[in-house]
A and B are shown apart, each in its own frame.
Chain A
Amino acid sequence: MKFVKPKDVENLLKNLEEDKGKKYFLAGGTDLNVQIKNGIIRDANIIYINHLTELSGISEENNIILIGATTSIMDILDSDLIKRHLPYFQRSLESFASPLLQNTATIGGNIANGSPTADVIPLLLVLNAKVELSSKSQCRLVYIKDFFTGYKQNVMKSNEIITHIIIDKNAEKDFLTFYEKVGSRRTLTISKVTLAGMKKVSGNRISQIRLAVGSLSEFPRRLFKVEDYITDKTLTEIDFSKVENLLGKEITPITDLRSDKEYRYHVCVNLIRTFLNQ
């Protein structure tokens, strides 16, 4: 039972090396505090990171955009750099909870918490973003598609922390994009189904497509099988019952009370159809 406020990132990483036990990082606290309230987290070791200026802010470097882990959703919405290079990413985040939450919730927290409903993750998946994981001795980049290993499980080691999210500056260039949350309430939609999509079309044919879903599986994920099936087809060549079938093969469904699996698959396929029709 410990609370630590490291003075800088170097200190933080040193601390992680020395203390390998289970710990939580406190960034915006929007997930952590709800989990504490509901008794999901007890007796936790907590490391505060929200004051570490090295971990927050948006910058560019050659052909990439670097987003610090403790950058808030609002900072992403307000960023001119993001507006210039990643307008789809920015626009889509407007539906994140409410302004009150956007001001505190961080991008790193959204990823690390890894909820099946996390809104940022499907977007990062279609944008082929990378997560920078740092420890005292090294810094490694993991594609977001390879980050999760199970329900709220990921590849992060006990001596690591997410330091940045990295997105190619031209990740959105020449793509047609799609983002839709089908949920029950207007603002605070903890979504039932989220679909993020990017496609390129040549003539009638879909020459390239990326699809990612939230709320359907134990963690948000790309639909590689569906993508393969759709690629190089024209709209009329696509059999949507086949798409639904592939969807079932691709993902391990989560069961919770929000709505049943078949319904969600159906919504998801309809969202894919809407996107392809655009």
Chain B
Amino acid sequence: MGMHLGFLFPSWGLGTRYRKSVVKEKKMKINFILNENEVSIDVDPMKRLLDILREDFGLTGTKEGCGEGECGACTILLDGKPVTSCILNAIHADGKEIYTVEGIAEKHIGKLLIDCFDETNAVQCGFCFPGFLVSSYYYLKTDGEKNLDKIKKALSGNICRCTGYQKIFESVMMACVRKS
């Protein structure tokens, strides 16, 4: 499993694309719970949630692929539900509870999933992996039935350009069995 945590934490070569906010408004205090810690930040309320996590909190496990909600590389849990953080704003986090892939990797089911992805060799370049991990985690927490159709649906917002998905689905099926 060693290699995989490596996929989660390094910042990628992409660098952070600097994005001018449309609103040059004074900063606002945003409070939320991030991976089980209460945090508070003074920030432009329109700053992308993805950028807050990566830049302000150094949580670079959350990736930016398309930046338009289509690929799922930036998936996080917001109040328990998987969402794409590239098209959410700082203000959307206010008063909410957030888990990033780093937080999920610490959870029992998160670890179980990482092992299954590893054993199945479901990860190639790894860029999509954090997003898949978050969506799979949500599936295991809320349903967890070893059912291919359900799993496909649960992961339908995440795109992988390397693997052709079969191994990813297998990994999640495996985790469903092991969890129960």
Contact = CB atoms under 8 A, between A and B. Distances in A.
A, B: real partners: yes
A3 B82 CA distance: 26
B121 interface: no
Interface in B4-30: 19, 22-25, 28
B60 interface: no
In the complex, which range does the number of interface residues on chain A fall in? 20 to 34
A44 B46 CA distance: 11
B62 interface: no
Interface stretch (B101-109, B151-159, B169-177): B151-159
B45 interface: yes
B68 interface: yes
A100 B23 contact: no
Interface stretch (A46-54, A239-247, A258-266): A46-54
Contacts, number: 89
Given A46-B23, A50-B92, A100-B82, A187 B87 contact: no
B96 to A, nearest CB: 10
Interface in A236-255: none
A141 B85 CA distance: 34
A44 B156 contact: no
Interface string A29-55: 110011011000111101010110000
Nearest to A50: B92
Contacts of B135: 99-100
**Chain A interface SS verdict (over half):** loop
Q: What is the size category of the interface that chain B forms with chain A?
A: 20 to 34
Contact of A30 (B87, B91, B158): B87
B100 interface: no
B143 to A, nearest CB: 11
28 contacts: A1-B23, A1-B24, A1-B25, A3-B25, A3-B45, A3-B46, A5-B91, A26-B89, A29-B87, A37-B19, A41-B22, A46-B23, A46-B46, A51-B95, A98-B72, A99-B135, A99-B154, A99-B156, A99-B157, A100-B82, A100-B83, A100-B84, A101-B69, A103-B81, A103-B82, A104-B83, A104-B87, A186-B156
Across the A-B interface, the 7 shortest Cβ-Cβ residue pairs: A98-B157, A100-B157, A33-B87, A187-B156, A3-B25, A103-B81, A98-B156
